[in-house]
Each structure stands twice: as structure tokens, then as C-alpha cells.
Amino acid sequence: MAVSISATGFKGGLGTSLSWGSSIAGEDSALLAKSVQNQVRVRVAKPVRFQPVMKNVNEGKGLFAPIVVVSRNVIGKKRFNQLRGKAIALHSQVITEFCKSIGADAKQRQGLIRLAKKNGERLGFLA
């Protein structure tokens, strides 16, 4: 099989100029292969990384989940998340004040906040 190619546009040149009519054989093909190998750079794309989805394991479950879902659909997701954030912040403040009043240290306070989050998930507040 004869291959025809024009190699006049390579940077650095091949030393000889091939035309459309000439076939590559022998020394010319080795010289062309070496020139092409130096000129061709293969770009490898970065692997696609999917963002982890932070989802509640008990989403849609729990006593209060239907109320939470309906209210989110009624008032809108953005406003709902703002209200939820405020409620969580207030609850964390109440837990902090409680820990101060009983003399609990920061580690116990952190444990109580985590427990409140787990309970909220189970009850459906984080649906």
C-alpha cells in the first residue's frame, strides 16, 4: 500500500520535500516518522471527578419529612435553606448555653450537637 503525503509544512523540515505524488518508503518514511514523532504532542485530559453528594441517608423518611418536603416546595429551596440554617444556628446556640449552665466542656458540647443532627435526620427534619 502506497501512502502519499506532503511534508513541506513541518517545523525544522525533513531535509527533503515530499510531494503529493511521491510515496513514502525507506529512508523517507523513517525521517518523516521521526519528524512527526517530535511534533505531535498528545494531551491527556484530567480524569473527571464527580463531586460528592451530601445527602441524608434517611431522606424522605421520618415523622416530619412530608411536612419538610411540602414546606420546601411551597417557599422555595433557597429561602427554605436560609430558614433551615437559621434554625440550626439557633439550636446550636441553645445547646451551647445549656452546656455553659451545666459546666460541660467543648467536647461534650460538640457531642450534643452531633447527637442533635442525628436525631434531626432520623425524625426527617433534614429531608
Give the span between the Cα atoms of 27 and 14, in whole angstroms: 11
Establish if 117 belongs to a structural domain. yes
Same domain, residue pair 29 and 71: no
Establish if 55 belongs to a structural domain. no
3-state secondary structure the chain: CCCECCCCCCCCCCCCCCCCCCECCCHHHHHHHHHHHHHCCCCCCCCCCCCCCCCCCCCCCCCCHHHHHHHHHHHCHHHHHHHHHHHHHHHHHHHHHHHHHHCCCHHHHHHHHHHHHHHHHHHCCCC
Q: Which residue has the higher pLDDT, 35 or 5?
A: 35
Domain count, the chain: 2
Give the span between the Cα atoms of 45 and 47, in whole angstroms: 6
Domain interval for residue 72:
65-123
Same domain, residue pair 24 and 74: no
Q: Whole-model pTM above 0.75?
A: no
Same domain, residue pair 70 and 110: yes
Over residues 86-126, the pLDDT tens digits come to 999 999 999 999 999 999 999 999 999 999 999 988 998 88
The three-point CA angle 122-126-127 to 5° equals 90
Establish if 29 belongs to a structural domain. yes
Same domain, residue pair 118 and 69: yes
Establish if 110 belongs to a structural domain. yes
| 40: nearest Cα among 2, 8, 11, 3 | 11
Establish if 43 belongs to a structural domain. no
Establish if 20 belongs to a structural domain. yes
Establish if 94 belongs to a structural domain. yes
Same domain, residue pair 119 and 70: yes
Q: Residue 111's CB: how many other CB atoms inside 10 A?
A: 13
Over residues 26-72, the pLDDT tens digits come to 566 666 666 656 665 666 677 777 666 656 555 668 889 999 999 99
